[in-house]
Structure 1
Amino acid sequence: MHATAAPHRSKPALSFWQIWNMCFGFLGIQFGFALQNANVSRIFQTLGADMDALPALWIAAPLTGLLVQPVIGYLSDRTWTGLGRRRPYFLAGALLASLALVAMPHSPTLWIAAGLLWVLDASINVSMEPFRAFVGDQLPVAQRAQGYAMQSFFIGLGSVIASLLPWLLEKAGVANTANPGQVPDTVRYAFYAGAVVLMGAIVWTVLRTREYPPDTLDAFDESAPLDRPPLERARAIRFGLLWLTIGALGLAGVAWQNLPRELYLLGALLAIYGVALLALAASKRDNGFTQVMTDIYAMPLAMRRLALVQFFSWFALFAMWIYTTPTVTAVYYGSTDPASADYNTGANWVGVLFAAYNGFAALAAIVIPWLARRFGLRGSHLLNLALGGLGLASIPFLPNENWLLLSMLGIGIAWASILSLPYALLSDSVPARKMGVYMGIFNFFIVIPQLVAVATLGYALKHLFAGDPAKVLVLGGTSMLIAGLLALRVPEPVSHRVQG
């Protein structure tokens, strides 16, 4: 593909290897992301964190996504350099994330580790967000499910290797235990390898792909026009006051009832959104802030309905990432002491399980384009999420730890679907010139459920589930089943509707 290709009504189809090269960078991104997901709770507990404090320490992941992705999406829509539109952000994020991976296992205190998680997650988001828009930029509508499925394949492949690394290193003789407050060598060396893989994979995509210039991309735009008019100032004021009032009442209620401090986050987010709407109504200038806020209001119908699907899907995933290690080590290894050999053996087995579900996801990504053609995007997503919900809810109830691989099969199928089909549904409904900002806004519906999880799961664990993390996983499985049912409400793009 050449960046100077003459405009056509539809983008030319890309070859298998062109799609491979443009998605290969996701191998590195997910390598770092999987190391984070499988090991950060372990690092936090090693440095002295209590189990019910884990969600609050994980707050970096959703908050950085909430702040970073819309900004990067907006900026990358308006960037054109010698490296193109999206690729400069791939490189910058990869460099910062690699440095954070090297530093995190050496954190001397819990708070330094939490700070490095902010840096790591923000940097991964800087690289990840333009990759979603990159597929929409480069591929015609008919190939987008294939493109996002290829991303899912690399996500699965990278996660398999990354999640297995501590376990493999232990088998190779690397120390898997350390003095109290010290991160084991297996985790440190895995993070070093992650830095190398992350940087190398991004560089491959940067060097092996080209991008359409903005004018050419606009000429190719195949998307339907947005189906909602710009926001009226009076309406913005009414809704701004409404959300500000709800947020303020929520903050007052948390303080009055002496509820957990994490719940302040939810009230603050609602109040901030209300203030942002009031600022939009008062603004007399057209700038980045007003454009992004107007785009939020003008979200297409498919995106508004996908928001609920994403909410329940990612709430389930966040519950799984936080509480699988405490559940598996307690239920199947009989230990809650992070310094014990049994706990660390169980934590390594969680790494194997996470590798397994990502491996299953890589295989499922090969089948997903066929499923989308046969059952449509919505029907396929319902089926996949139902399997994932059953897999997640089953984790505490199986005969022994080896049976957990069956749970991972369902979770892996759902994971591949979550990483591909919602983006295929979304990219067909937004204009090319706004692909980056809408992919960034779409990340709100990944971030918000994670923030809700941060604000509520610790409280639920302590006060509703009697400190039993297994019950949080059952809640997560139920949430994923709900997401599958809600997928049926999302409009099916014409090019993907089941014929006959």
Structure 2
Amino acid sequence: MTLKEEAISAQDRIDAQSDPSELHKPLLDNKTILLMNLGFFGVNYAMGLQQTAISPLFAIIGANPEDLPLLNLAGPITGLVIQPIIGVLSDRTWTRWGRRKPFFVSGVVLAALMLFLFPFVSALWMAVLLLWLLDAGANTGMEPYRALISDKLRLSQRTTGYLLQGVLIGGGAVVANVSLFIFQQMITGTNAAGVPHWVPATFWVGAFFLLLSVAISAAKTKEIKPSDEEIAHIRSLPKHPGAVFGEIFHAVREMPLGMHKIGLVYAFQWYGLFVWWQFGSLIIGNSAFGVNTGVHGYNETPAYLEAVGWTGLINGWYALVAMGAAIVMIPLAKRFGAKNVHAVALLIAGVGLSFFPFVHDKYLMFIPMIGLGIAWASVCSLPFVMVTSMVPAARIGVYLGILNMMIVVPQLIETVTFGSIYAHLLGSDPTKAGVFIGVMFVLAGLAATWVNPPKASDESSLMPLGSPRRMTSVYNRVIVGSDGTPASLATVGHAAGIASAAEARLVVVSAFNADGAPSGQRPRGGDEHEELYGERAAQAAVERSVQELTKERFKLIERRIVAGTPAQALLEVAGDNPDNLIVVGNRGVGAADGEALGSIPREVVRNAVCNVMIVQTSPSGGSHRVVPGAASGG
């Protein structure tokens, strides 16, 4: 087992203290996690088409700009009703095909069918009906799919899962929006209803990607089967409407404080996003293509149709930016706090969007949209990591459904209010609508800064809402010994985590016997201390210990090779500085069966001037944990 795996194993055991089911989940490699998330590429190709193309399609077949919010009512209503219900039902379901798969596969098939039929609409009522069915399918599939990721991944791997998910979400949106622009350039002409011929091509490609990516994910991902007792409990839970809505009500009442805080920010950010998706083509058409949206028939002009294609390119650009930003978003949030990073991302987007309507060069429009890309990367990753790390595993489905309610309620409010706001307050001016969107994002960012993080006992260890409580300046150096055995590698993993949190230098010490190895001497294996003979053996032990740490980009690492006993080496390196910390395993030479400490930790604790932390290592090497209260001062 590598040092990285040892460190993950130690963290998993800490996580298992609050959720024992964590240890039943296998550690997955990145390829498996990628294939498990692949369906999000197709799902967000479809969502990208909906966000960019549906409102322009409504306009092309005769909708007034003021009516666009109400025509898009399907998304908020279906999300508000369907996702929490599906979340509860999937939590309370187990079939031969799994818990989540029956829901997200059936939902995706319905959504793909609606994408295939959408280009054939010839009247506004037909388009609205298909949009309702499309959103019903998407909402049936989305929440169980997100819950599946949490079901499969341990807490220690969940950030990787959501990071890859964010990249694939961005990739699907990029391809969808760019395809709108490319097909518009390649395919000309319209049908009898005035719908351009390039619309069917993009929607049919979207249906193909949606089915293919989800089929691969479903085929390559096997759900973890609950125990017989768990299956019996799941099947005993009532599934009638009263029980389902009762579970949702109780989940809302018991919702963690952090979710209430996320909901405050969501109110502004999702209102603004929904306005952008509905009015983006009007804003771009008015600013860069000279489209007068107040003139009857503007929706049939070549300038507006060109603006629709350019909107796809602009949306593809911000999705591309989001793909890059997603790679650094979660590491930044772990360092500075999720709410701080999210607040900055929203404020950057708000400033850019406020200036966007005043950019009249279509090429310069890409610059302010960088901010929206950064914000979109944050929106698609940070809240889901925070929520899944703060709620019980058995209720992830319902809580992700409630999180979606926090998305759709602002959208629902937007659909019934923004039409009047646009007509009466903003004077049907797309430029003012663009500024309004920017203001919404600024308010969301300010709301995030006003959100106080919970007390330390309620804070998420995986993804802190506020700035992480660091041990900065507590220790100058964290000193740990290693002889290359699995137990010592696990101890080094613990020490590295402490050094990272304290922003201290990690010193890896390897002691060696300068005399030659006695004839017939066989080194001890397993978890016991292995005596090293000669400087070369000690150097090899140190290099093995730090190899995985350097791969993980730990910067402040010092290697020390010392002649003498391990305890003497640790004490010599620590010196008389009380601001150091020695981390040592409990096992070693002299630890008889049943004894808690070997001779090395006993001698270190007895003679150290600085604090000492003892790491518990079982004889099998499979259980590693920090012994509570084992730190002692000299």
Residue 56 (structure 1) aligned with residue 70 (structure 2): yes
Q: 1:423 aligns with which of 370, 384, 395?
A: 384
1:345-393: per-residue Cα shift (whole Å, max 9, x none)?
Answer: 1110000001111111111111112212321222221121122222222
Partner of 1:145: 159
Instruction: Return the offset for 1:166.
Output: 2.3
Partner of 1:361: 322
Equivalents in 2 of 1:203, 1:290: separation in Å? 34
Query: Secondary structure of the equivalent of 2:414?
Result: helix
Equivalents in 1 of 2:373, 2:102: separation in Å? 31
Length-normalised TM-score, structure 1 = 0.82
Partner of 2:631: none
Query: Secondary structure of the equivalent of 1:379?
Result: helix
Report if aligned partners of 2:358, 2:431 keep a CA contact under 8 Å in 1: no
Report if aligned partners of 2:100, 2:148 keep a CA contact under 8 Å in 1: yes
Partner of 1:326: 282
Query: Secondary structure of the equivalent of 1:483?
Result: helix
Equivalents in 1 of 2:443, 2:146: separation in Å? 25
The structure with the greater share of residues assigned to strand is 2
What amino acid is the match of 1:174? I
Instruction: Return the offset for 1:420.
Output: 0.8
Equivalents in 2 of 1:217, 1:323: separation in Å? 52
Partner of 1:199: 211
Q: 1:84 aligns with which of 98, 120, 135?
A: 98
Q: 2:413 aligns with which of 438, 452, 456?
A: 452
Cα distance change, pair 393–217 in 1 and its aligned pair in 2 (3 A): farther
What amino acid is the match of 1:165? S
What amino acid is the match of 1:185? H
Instruction: Return the offset for 1:215.
Output: 4.2
Cα distance change, pair 126–44 in 1 and its aligned pair in 2 (3 A): same
Instruction: Return the offset for 1:182.
Output: 2.0
Partner of 2:51: 37
User: What RMSD, in angstroms, separates the aligned Cα atoms of the two structures?
Assistant: 2.2
Q: 1:388 aligns with which of 349, 359, 362?
A: 349
Equivalents in 1 of 2:160, 2:228: separation in Å? 22
Partner of 1:174: 187
With 136-145 and 397-406 compared, the bigger mean Cα shift is at 136-145
What amino acid is the match of 1:50? N
Partner of 1:165: 179
Length-normalised TM-score, structure 2 = 0.65
Report if aligned partners of 1:218, 1:433 keep a CA contact under 8 Å in 2: no
Query: Secondary structure of the equivalent of 2:390?
Result: coil
Partner of 1:241: none
Instruction: Return the offset for 1:286.
Output: 6.7
Bigger Rg, structure 1 or 2 = 2
With 77-86 and 66-75 compared, the bigger mean Cα shift is at 77-86
Report if aligned partners of 1:30, 1:155 keep a CA contact under 8 Å in 2: yes
Report if aligned partners of 2:252, 2:402 keep a CA contact under 8 Å in 1: yes
1:458-481: per-residue Cα shift (whole Å, max 9, x none)?
Answer: 101111111112222222222222
Unaligned runs of 5+ in 2: 1-19, 232-240, 473-634
Residue 288 (structure 1) aligned with residue 302 (structure 2): no
Equivalents in 2 of 1:494, 1:108: separation in Å? 53
Equivalents in 1 of 2:247, 2:180: separation in Å? 45
Residue 299 (structure 1) aligned with residue 312 (structure 2): no
Partner of 1:375: 336
With 196-205 and 15-24 compared, the bigger mean Cα shift is at 15-24
Equivalents in 2 of 1:85, 1:427: separation in Å? 17
Cα distance change, pair 217–426 in 1 and its aligned pair in 2 (3 A): farther
Cα distance change, pair 214–474 in 1 and its aligned pair in 2 (3 A): farther
Report if aligned partners of 2:72, 2:415 keep a CA contact under 8 Å in 1: yes
Query: Secondary structure of the equivalent of 2:368?
Result: helix
Unaligned runs of 5+ in 1: 1-5, 220-284
* 1:18-37 matched pairs, under 5 angstroms: 18-37=32-51
Equivalents in 1 of 2:91, 2:267: separation in Å? 25
Equivalents in 1 of 2:261, 2:46: separation in Å? 30
Report if aligned partners of 1:46, 1:180 keep a CA contact under 8 Å in 2: no
Instruction: Return the offset for 1:158.
Output: 0.6
Equivalents in 2 of 1:72, 1:303: separation in Å? 20
Equivalents in 2 of 1:19, 1:152: separation in Å? 12
Equivalents in 1 of 2:315, 2:417: separation in Å? 24
Report if aligned partners of 2:389, 2:463 keep a CA contact under 8 Å in 1: no
Residue 482 (structure 1) aligned with residue 449 (structure 2): no
Cα distance change, pair 7–320 in 1 and its aligned pair in 2 (3 A): closer
Report if aligned partners of 2:330, 2:381 keep a CA contact under 8 Å in 1: no
What amino acid is the match of 1:20? L
Cα distance change, pair 330–15 in 1 and its aligned pair in 2 (3 A): same
With 378-387 and 19-28 compared, the bigger mean Cα shift is at 378-387
Equivalents in 2 of 1:286, 1:453: separation in Å? 29
Equivalents in 2 of 1:351, 1:15: separation in Å? 35
Cα distance change, pair 168–343 in 1 and its aligned pair in 2 (3 A): same
Residue 156 (structure 1) aligned with residue 170 (structure 2): yes
Equivalents in 1 of 2:463, 2:113: separation in Å? 41
Q: 2:267 aligns with which of 302, 306, 311?
A: 311
1:81-126: per-residue Cα shift (whole Å, max 9, x none)?
Answer: 2221111112101110111001111111101101100001111111
Equivalents in 2 of 1:215, 1:111: separation in Å? 49
Partner of 1:402: 363
Equivalents in 1 of 2:57, 2:229: separation in Å? 44
Give the count of matched residue pairs: 429
Partner of 1:185: 197
With 397-406 and 347-356 compared, the bigger mean Cα shift is at 397-406
1:18-51: per-residue Cα shift (whole Å, max 9, x none)?
Answer: 2111111100100111111111111101111001
Q: 1:99 aligns with which of 113, 117, 134?
A: 113
Instruction: Return the offset for 1:135.
Output: 2.2
Report if aligned partners of 1:46, 1:338 keep a CA contact under 8 Å in 2: yes
Instruction: Return the offset for 1:178.
Output: 2.2
Aligned residues with identical type, % of pairs: 37
With 141-150 and 194-203 compared, the bigger mean Cα shift is at 141-150
Report if aligned partners of 2:191, 2:197 keep a CA contact under 8 Å in 1: no
The structure with the greater share of residues assigned to helix is 1
Instruction: Return the offset for 1:394.
Output: 2.1
Q: 1:494 aligns with which of 443, 461, 466?
A: 461
Instruction: Return the offset for 1:181.
Output: 3.1
Equivalents in 2 of 1:217, 1:321: separation in Å? 47
Cα distance change, pair 218–19 in 1 and its aligned pair in 2 (3 A): farther
Instruction: Return the offset for 1:145.
Output: 2.8
Equivalents in 2 of 1:11, 1:484: separation in Å? 36
* 1:219-258 matched pairs, under 5 angstroms: none
Cα distance change, pair 200–463 in 1 and its aligned pair in 2 (3 A): same
Equivalents in 1 of 2:22, 2:183: separation in Å? 52
